[in-house]
Structure 1
Amino acid sequence: MSRGPRTGVDPDRLAALDGLFTAEQRQIAAAVRRLCDAEITPKVPLWFEAGELPDPRGLMRQFGELGLLGMHLSGYGCAGLPATDYGLACRELEACDSGIRSMVSVQGSLAMYAIWRFGSEEQKQQWLPGMATGETIGCFGLTEADHGSDPAGMQTSARRDGQGEQADWVLNGSKMWITNGSIADVAVVWAQTTDSPRDIRGFLVPASTPGFTAGEIAHKLSLRASVTAELVLQDVRLPADAVLPAATGLAGPLSCLTEARYGIAWGAMGSARSSLHAALDYARSREQFGKPIGGFQLTQAKLADMLAEYVKGMLLAVHLGRLKDAGEITTEQVSLGKLNNVREALQIARTARTILGANGISLEYPVIRHAANLESVLTYEGTVEMHTLILGQALTGQNAFR
């Protein structure tokens, strides 16, 4: 009687996940993986260890050449591909490193999406083509040092200076934890207007504007192969047409966050897949007590649990992608994807670390790097608590945020 394969099966093949995608979608994923394998994956452990990204502008141009920047947007040099295709790209980027996926996500799903969704035609023509090629880099300034989960309390202000509709805007304030901030050519900054009626508006701030500075944040122990900055605005004077005309109130920036969270639900599964593969390879080759540790029941139980959560997370991501492509996705459904998939990816990385033992903390393997990165992904663009309350309100009809 056959006991089944002794060499093991790839997790995606075991669950027949490739069958969920078209040949074109598999080609897109393979193209992103080839770029990462050739240009990033061999180097990213060194970047992580050094806490730097040596040539972010060159890397962004490579992503632009592959058509990854704003790939789910249409027009202005963007590829206009389905949301599922974008999700597969996010999975491959984060299988390489969360910081690399964040770089692309902030460019396309936050900065570019804000301009594409809320900008004037002139603003779109001015910024989006260069951002799609990676020649122009954008960032998204919403979070403040004292206002993370509650952006409505933001202190960054925008006041009118002059008469009539052509009056300038003057911005003052600061933003924290801004990916791409210190390399950006343009920042999408959200501010509280001081004139009546007071409201939250979005502004396009060229990095060369007097009074605007961006300093890189050091001493991070997570997302180390990523550019993270603090933005400071001191009497930054902007023309009247710097405001995003179609965004008024918190609905604007929150819709951008929903767009980015969708990509995170896919990206987290990349970290999970990489961690699972590392654990499988190690379990098949590492011998203790006379045989590979993959032959022991406790190790197999860990691997089976990791596989189950990875497959469930992928099925959820695919479901969300199809809902998004059909124009039917809701904010609550995206919160479900972000909450579940990041939480389970982090648990997979932690479990993989235990299978690798002491080697699990070495950057020779990707596991500890994924685990450290996912600690940030778990809380950025909505903490576990915030997404839990979003789902709780949807289920009960009761607002428990305050």
Structure 2
Amino acid sequence: MHFDLADEQRMVQETARRFALEEIAPTLAEEERAHAFKPERVAKMGELGFFGCALPDDLGGNGLGFFESVLMAEQVAKVSASWRLPFNMQNLGPALTVAKFGTAAQKAKYIPGWVAGTQLGFFAMTEPNTGSDVASMKTHAIDKGDHWEVHGSKMWISQAHVGHAGLLYAYTDRSAGNRGITAFIIEPKTWAGVSARPIETKLGLHCAPTGEFVFDGMKVPKENVLGQPGEGFRICMWQLNQTRLGCAAGALGVAGGALDLAIDYANGRTQFGKPIAQHQMIQAQIADMVVEHQAAQMLVYRAAWLKDQGRPSQYETSVAKLAASEAAVHAANECMKIFGSYGYSTEYPAERFYRDAKSLQIVEGTSNIQRIIISGMATGATPNRE
């Protein structure tokens, strides 16, 4: 196997690193306190090509693939896990899914704005009583002849109340089970019958807007069905296999950021007459963080490489997401302990890494769900898919 990055990949990685350090880091503490989200920063990310990965040229693709997307998301998440979210909300979620399943008209109308970062995206599947069990959703759409009428609610949706256009999953035929779920492209800011409000009671990801939708007869034009009616569950599972990789990349960033922070602090903090980095207990903590981070990194990079080859990757993506998210939580926890009392203070980033890391065990399929997927494929009960 070849482990060196090509010159272009190093340039992409460096561009994202510089962006995070120069555009996000200087004001991050203030923005975190204010729970501030800056749409103009998403547009800047779009200008830099962050959201054109794995898309054809005629749809705004930049010639880069999943691997480069991972490299960029990882660097951004090392500074801010919140600002890793747009990679999923713009590119790996809506844009890639519409590129694969959408009509020519849908692609032309929606993908350019998502890629440019000027049209904020989202994907809505989670509900108050529907998380891991996607097929238990209650939101439904009624066929009204020339349009669908949507009723129900979604919550914990990233960019819900700021989003311009995104994906909605709802039942159109409940008697058909998960084969009765349909995917729609919706425009909540301009359509009647839908309201959105923010959710601000979150442990972490304070600069990543999260909200809920309430649908009360929202009319969706027939031309906004993505794929065919009844294909929504299949489309949703395909989409999750792509956005799951973005979460894994974010977890790498959080783990790497926490590791760098812990090493820097351990080298500078003196106790018992020497830097704490020279105490064996601290050395053991750092060594474990390094091993877990590097192992997760290889798994995430492999999953991205498989996607770029067009090969089945659901198995490898779930392995990568599980390993990386668990490594991120462990690294953030150890970083906080190495900082001691200062780790508990909002004066230092250690506590933010700790809060942000926990989300990665939940989003795009919890760690328990990843274990179910992995074990099913490992035992041959289910096939590996694209």
Category of TM-score, reference length = shorter chain: over 0.9
Report if the CA contact (8 A) 1:159-1:169 is conserved: yes
Does the alignment pair 1:82 with 2:65?
yes
Task: Give the RMSD, CA atoms, in angstroms.
Answer: 1.7
Does the alignment pair 1:270 with 2:253?
yes
Q: What pairs up with 1:368-379 in 2 under 5 angstroms?
A: 368-379=351-362
Question: Matched residue of 1:177: which SS?
Answer: strand
Distance 1:187 1:261, change over 3 A: same
Report if the CA contact (8 A) 2:332-2:353 is conserved: yes
CA apart distance, 1:304: 1.1
Please name the residue that 1:218 is paired with: 200
CA apart distance, 1:116: 1.2
Q: How high is the sequence identity, in percent, across the aligned residues?
A: 31
User: How far does the alpha carbon of each residue in 1:273-296 deviate from its partner, in whole angstroms, 9 at most, with x for none?
Assistant: 111111111111101111111111
Please name the residue that 2:137 is paired with: 154
Does the alignment pair 1:337 with 2:316?
no
Which of 59, 68, 72 is the aligned partner of 2:54?
Answer: 72
Please name the residue that 2:149 is paired with: 170
Equivalenced residue count is 376
User: How far does the alpha carbon of each residue in 1:149-169 deviate from its partner, in whole angstroms, 9 at most, with x for none?
Assistant: 00111111111112xxxx211
Runs of 4+ in 1 over 3 A off after TM superposition: 194-198
Please name the residue that 1:236 is paired with: 218
Report if the CA contact (8 A) 1:161-1:170 is conserved: yes
CA apart distance, 1:398: 4.8
Question: Matched residue of 2:183: which SS?
Answer: strand
Q: What pairs up with 1:30-49 in 2 under 5 angstroms?
A: 30-49=14-33
Please name the residue that 2:366 is paired with: 383
Q: Which amino acid aligns with 2:4?
A: L
- d(CA) in 2 for partners of 1:195 and 1:347? 41
Q: Which amino acid aligns with 1:26?
A: R
Which of 66, 79, 90 is the aligned partner of 1:107?
Answer: 90
Which of 149, 173, 181 is the aligned partner of 2:160?
Answer: 181
Q: Which amino acid aligns with 1:149?
A: S
Does the alignment pair 1:202 with 2:186?
no
CA apart distance, 1:38: 1.0
Q: What pairs up with 1:339-358 in 2 under 5 angstroms?
A: 339-358=322-341
Which of 271, 274, 280 is the aligned partner of 1:291?
Answer: 274
- d(CA) in 2 for partners of 1:397 and 1:329? 15
Report if the CA contact (8 A) 2:174-2:181 is conserved: no
CA apart distance, 1:249: 3.9
- Structure number with greater Rg is 1
- d(CA) in 2 for partners of 1:170 and 1:196? 18
Q: What pairs up with 1:252-263 in 2 under 5 angstroms?
A: 252-263=235-246
- d(CA) in 2 for partners of 1:105 and 1:160? 30
- d(CA) in 1 for partners of 2:226 and 2:342? 50
Please name the residue that 2:43 is paired with: 61
Moved more, 73-82 or 303-312: 73-82
Report if the CA contact (8 A) 1:70-1:109 is conserved: no
Distance 1:242 1:249, change over 3 A: closer
CA apart distance, 1:20: 2.4
Please name the residue that 2:80 is paired with: 97
Question: Matched residue of 1:136: which SS?
Answer: coil
